[in-house]
């Protein structure tokens, strides 16, 4: 059983077969694997997401017993507080898209539904791995701009997307993407 757990606050990890923790600007992401399944999924998920009993929070969940997929999200005052996504087949959403949901001040109904499907809703884009952290620009966004805007230099990419226009540490990666896309 593989699961991704994203939350605003650190959690105590149970005894697991495998785990990795990644702290991002938006949240803390746990990538976990374990062979034991919870007996009471909802109770287990709420305890993992630190949802207090009788909390005035929005709770949503999805459970496909046939596939072994479980998804749950804890939302307070329209903001995503935590999400757990579990799969027997590693059928899990793109992590950068999930991270980006923690930046939003209010999740509308389409985004709340997309958390349960595990796919960005119509009109939402998966920007790919973040290349420029200063301006939160992903690799897929850069590739798309190169293609659609016919960009040919890093300077043009910076002008168009701001990527590389602050600290500059991402410029080598932008150059690599540009070279690969222009081939």
My answer on whether 35 and 65 are in the same domain is yes
Cβ–Cβ contacts within 10 Å for residue 145, how many? 18
My answer on whether 141 and 164 are in the same domain is yes
My answer on whether 51 and 106 are in the same domain is yes
Q: In this predicted model, what pLDDT tens digit does every residue of 109-128 receive, in sequence order?
A: 888 888 887 777 656 666 77
pLDDT for position 136: 73
d(CA 63, CA 77): 24
Q: Domain with 178 in it: what CATH number?
A: 1.10.10.1100
Q: Please provide the DSSP assignment of 30-76 as one string.
A: EEEE-SPPPSSHHHHHHHHTT--TT-S-EEEEEEETTTTEEEEEEEE
CA separation, residue 91 to residues 3, 18, 43 (Å): 9, 17, 23
The model scores a pTM over 0.85? no
Coil, strand, or helix at residue 41?
A: helix
pLDDT for position 24: 82
My answer on whether 178 and 147 are in the same domain is yes
pLDDT for position 113: 85
Total domains in the chain come to: 2
d(CA 131, CA 156): 16
Decide if 125 is inside a domain: no
> What residues make up the domain containing 148?
130-182
My answer on whether 99 and 144 are in the same domain is no
Look at residues 88, 117, 146 and tell me which one is the last residue of a structural domain: 117
My answer on whether 22 and 105 are in the same domain is yes
């Amino acid at each position: 059983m593989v699961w991704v757990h994203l939350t605003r606050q650190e959690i105590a990890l149970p005894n697991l077969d495998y785990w990795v923790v990644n702290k991002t600007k938006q949240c803390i992401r746990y990538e976990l694997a374990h062979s034991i399944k919870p007996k009471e999924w909802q109770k287990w998920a709420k305890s993992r997401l630190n949802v207090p009993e009788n909390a005035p929070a929005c709770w949503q969940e999805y459970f496909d017993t046939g596939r072994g997929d479980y998804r749950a999200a804890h939302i307070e005052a329209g903001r995503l507080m935590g999400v757990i996504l579990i799969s027997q087949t590693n059928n899990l959403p793109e992590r950068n898209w999930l991270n980006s949901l923690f930046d939003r001040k209010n999740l509308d109904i389409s985004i709340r539904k997309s958390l349960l499907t595990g796919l960005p809703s119509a009109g939402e884009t998966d920007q790919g791995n973040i290349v420029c952290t200063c301006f939160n620009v992903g690799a897929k966004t850069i590739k798309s701009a190169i293609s659609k805007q016919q960009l040919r230099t890093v300077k043009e990419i910076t002008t168009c997307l701001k990527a590389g226009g602050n600290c500059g540490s991402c410029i080598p990666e932008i150059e690599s993407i540009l070279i690969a896309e222009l081939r």
